[in-house]
């Protein structure tokens, strides 16, 4: 069961017109906190993210299951089941034995899956898979968001620093 704070954050995101994946991000964030504080572990960062996405779907976030061919049939079936459960009204029967078994199994897993380094590695791997065009578009969106929240002086300072970094990289011969 997601925490009340998480549900409130996701609802606020929906009211603000943010995407389903942004709303689901709140549940993933909660899951990372759970792993970090030792409530349970995760075998990998991907597993921790998957748990968060499943919680989001069950909580009613309109996050569509992955498309055919992007993941295994089993993963798609699980995501579809969670999505349907979240979109139908009424309470769902939870099997306490299965629930306890899952929690106990997760408690045997490690906690490094939610470390900052592990999350950064996961994000990097996904970015590389997306390709340069989508990476660039994503970076541009991020820059636009940042520009909206910064003063002219701040943007100027950041631009100067970026120019310095680029010139330093050129003089050392390392091109990224």
Do residues 119 and 147 share a domain? no
- 176 pLDDT above the threshold of 90: no
Do residues 34 and 85 share a domain? yes
- 36 pLDDT above the threshold of 60: yes
All residues at 6 or more sequence positions from 68 whose CB lies less than 8 Å from its CB, including other chains = 76
Q: Which domain holds residue 31?
A: 4-130
* Lookup result for tokens 């010139």: 167
Do residues 126 and 161 share a domain? no
68 bridge partner residues: 71
Do residues 44 and 91 share a domain? yes
Sign of the Cα torsion 31, 37, 40, 42 reads positive
Do residues 46 and 23 share a domain? yes
Between 25-34, 74-83, 161-170, the lowest mean confidence (pLDDT) is in: 161-170
Do residues 93 and 148 share a domain? no
Do residues 107 and 162 share a domain? no
From 103, 126, 99, 102, select the one nearest 45 (Cα to Cα). Answer: 126
**According to the model, what pLDDT value does residue 100 have?**
96
How would residue 67 be classed by pLDDT, with cut points 50, 70 and 90?
Answer: very high
Do residues 136 and 76 share a domain? no
Q: How many CB atoms lie under 10 A from the CB of residue 22?
A: 15
Question: pLDDT tens digit string along 120-171?
Answer: 999 999 999 999 999 999 889 888 887 777 888 988 998 899 999 989 888 8
**According to the model, what pLDDT value does residue 73 have?**
94
Do residues 93 and 170 share a domain? no
**According to the model, what pLDDT value does residue 142 have?**
83
Q: What is the mean pLDDT of the chain?
A: 92
Do residues 114 and 151 share a domain? no
Do residues 56 and 122 share a domain? yes
Question: pLDDT tens digit string along 89-117?
Answer: 877 788 999 999 999 999 999 999 999 99
How many domains would you assign to the chain?
2
- CB-CB contact of 62 with 20 (8 Å): yes
- CB-CB contact of 38 with 106 (8 Å): no
Tell me the whole-structure pTM to 2 decimals.
0.78
Do residues 109 and 22 share a domain? yes
């Amino acid at each position: 069961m997601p925490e009340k704070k998480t549900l409130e954050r996701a609802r606020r995101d929906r009211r603000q017109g943010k995407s389903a994946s942004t709303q689901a991000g709140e549940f993933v964030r909660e899951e990372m906190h759970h792993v970090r504080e030792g409530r349970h572990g995760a075998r990998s960062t991907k597993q921790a993210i998957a748990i968060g996405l499943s919680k989001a779907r069950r909580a009613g976030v309109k996050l569509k299951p992955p498309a055919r061919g992007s993941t295994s049939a089993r993963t798609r079936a699980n995501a579809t089941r969670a999505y349907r459960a979240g979109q139908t009204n009424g309470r769902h029967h939870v099997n306490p034995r299965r629930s306890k078994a899952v929690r106990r199994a997760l408690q045997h897993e490690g906690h490094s899956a939610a470390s900052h380094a592990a999350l950064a590695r996961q994000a990097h791997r996904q970015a590389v898979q997306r390709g340069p065009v989508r990476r660039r578009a994503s970076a541009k969106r991020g820059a636009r968001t940042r520009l909206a929240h910064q003063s002219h002086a701040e943007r100027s300072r950041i631009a100067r620093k970026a120019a310095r970094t680029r010139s330093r990289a050129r003089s050392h011969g390392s091109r990224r």
